[in-house]
Amino acid sequence: MAFTLAALLATGAQAAPAFTGIQEEVANVERAFAATMKARDHAAFVSFLSEETIFETGERAQRGKKAVADGWKKFFDKPDAPFSWEPDQVDVLPSGTLARTSGPVYAPDGKLIARFNSIWRLEAPKTWRIVFDGGSEVCR
C-alpha cells in the first residue's frame, strides 16, 4: 500500500498539468512564447510583448517593449537556445483579462536552473501579451 501511494505521488509529480478553458488558452500562449526561443525567432518573441512590458532580468528592470526586445536580442544570437521554459501553473482572474503563468526553466542539458513568473494581459480578443516577467534561480 505504501509503495503504491509513493508510486502514485511520484507519477503525479511528473505528470503534465491539466489546464482547461481559458487556462489552457493562456498555457498555449506561454508555450508559443517559449517556442520562439527554440525556433531562434526574435521577431516572434517581440510580438508577444506588451508596449508596457517590464522584465525583471539582471540587476535592473527592462521597461517597455523596445528595451525588452533589445535586452533579449543576445539570447537569440547563437544557433542554440541558451535555455527553455514551460508553464506548469496558470491562474486567470475571473474577469478573464489577466493571467499568471509560472514554471521551470531548463539549461540546454535539461538541468533545472530557475522558475519563471509571467503576467499576461488580454489586449484584444484572443490576443494575450506579456506585461510582467521575472524569475528566480533554483537553490543548488
Quick: pLDDT tens for 32-70. Answer: 999 999 999 999 999 999 999 999 977 889 999 999 999
**SS3 state at 123:** strand
Domain membership of residue 46 (yes or no) is yes
Residue 125 lies in a domain: yes
Q: How far apart are alpha carbons 121 and 79 in whole angstroms?
A: 31
Determine how β-strand 112-124 pairs with β-strand 127-137: antiparallel
**Closest-CA residue to 118 (of 26, 36, 47, 41):** 26
Taking CA atoms, 123 is separated from 9, 30, 70, in Å, by 39, 15, 22
> Residue 73 pLDDT > 60, yes or no?
yes
**Residue 73 placed within a domain:** yes
Q: Would you say residue 12 lies in a domain?
A: no
> What is the domain-level CATH number for residue 38?
3.10.450.50
Total domains present in the chain: 1
At residue 18, does pLDDT exceed 50? yes
Q: Check whether 140 has a pLDDT greater than 90.
A: no
The rounded distance, in Å, linking the Cα atoms of 82 and 40 is 10
Determine, yes or no, domain membership for 111: yes
